[in-house]
């Protein structure tokens, strides 16, 4: 729990955590960077998981605007009407520079892509792949932000970031704690900048949020975290 129950706005990575360092190799007595196929040697995180509900489209647009293709994979659960086809991926593609698509079961999770949960399907992760599940509702929701966060925490641990945006329910407040406990980094939209403040406020109230940030600053914060330019205090 943070002192006074308030989340820190600046949190630095533990420099001794080997999971935060690029892979290395030793040759002729000298240490050199070892390139890992499909992953930049200096990448600090593998996945950014984002949960949004009411007011989420505008928030996601703002968040993704400064992000380009040289970025970890992004997974998004946005609560949607289960009876209608979703155009979320198409709308975000028009407004951002990064590749956005609706997630498909079994497809590879690749850097530089945004995967949107389809309506009425839970978005989970397997070893490097998307897993969709039509299991029971969680807190009256399918897809569930909590389930996505818990799945990401279990698979990626300290190399994951969880983000809670605008919404009118408490989905994500359990999962954000799971990401935090797994060593990941957690972010909530500043409630004053959210169209619906209930969801980010519920996440903040857990005491497990590292950064509380206005929506217009989250995208740049994510870029800095993933490039190692911004750190978190343990």
String of DSSP letters for 11-38: ----TT-GGGSPPEEEETTEEEE-PBTT
Q: Give 120-129 contacts, CB < 8 A, sequence gap 24+.
A: 120/80, 120/82, 122/147, 122/148, 123/75, 123/76, 123/77, 123/147, 123/148, 124/148, 124/151, 125/47, 125/75, 125/151, 125/152, 125/155, 125/156, 126/155, 127/155
Q: Burial, 169: exposed, middle or buried (Cβ in 10 Å; 0-12, 13-18, 19+)? A: middle
Catalytic residue among 53, 113, 160, 166: 53
216 Cβ contact list (under 8 Å, min separation 6): 62, 193
Contact, 156 vs 185, CB < 8 A? no
Catalytic residue among 46, 79, 151, 160: 79
Cα 184 to Cα 15: distance, rounded to the nearest angstrom: 14
Does the annotation mark 171 as catalytic? yes
Catalytic residue among 46, 141, 158, 171: 171
Cα 162 to Cα 145: distance, rounded to the nearest angstrom: 10
State the catalytic residues. 53, 79, 171
């Amino acid at each position: 729990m943070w002192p006074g129950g308030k989340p820190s706005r600046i949190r630095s990575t533990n420099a001794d955590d080997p999971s935060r360092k690029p892979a290395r190799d030793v040759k002729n007595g000298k240490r050199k960077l070892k390139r890992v196929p499909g992953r930049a040697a200096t990448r600090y995180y593998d996945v950014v998981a984002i949960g949004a509900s009411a007011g989420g489209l505008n928030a996601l647009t703002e968040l993704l605007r400064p992000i380009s293709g040289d970025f970890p994979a992004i997974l998004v659960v946005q609560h949607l009407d289960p009876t209608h086809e979703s155009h979320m991926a198409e709308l975000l593609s028009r407004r951002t520079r990064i590749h956005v698509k609706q997630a498909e079961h079994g497809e590879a999770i690749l850097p530089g892509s945004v995967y949107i949960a389809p309506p009425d399907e839970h978005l989970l992760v397997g070893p490097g792949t998307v897993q969709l599940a039509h299991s029971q509702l969680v807190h009256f929701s399918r897809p569930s932000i909590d389930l996505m966060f818990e799945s990401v925490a279990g698979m990626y641990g300290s190399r994951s970031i969880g983000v809670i945006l605008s919404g009118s329910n408490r989905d994500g407040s359990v999962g954000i704690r799971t990401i935090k406990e797994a060593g990941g980094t957690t972010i909530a939209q500043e409630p004053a900048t959210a169209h619906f403040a209930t969801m980010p406020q519920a996440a903040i109230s857990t005491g497990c949020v590292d950064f509380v940030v206005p929506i217009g600053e989250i995208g740049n914060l994510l870029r800095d975290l993933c490039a190692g330019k911004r750190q978190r205090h343990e």
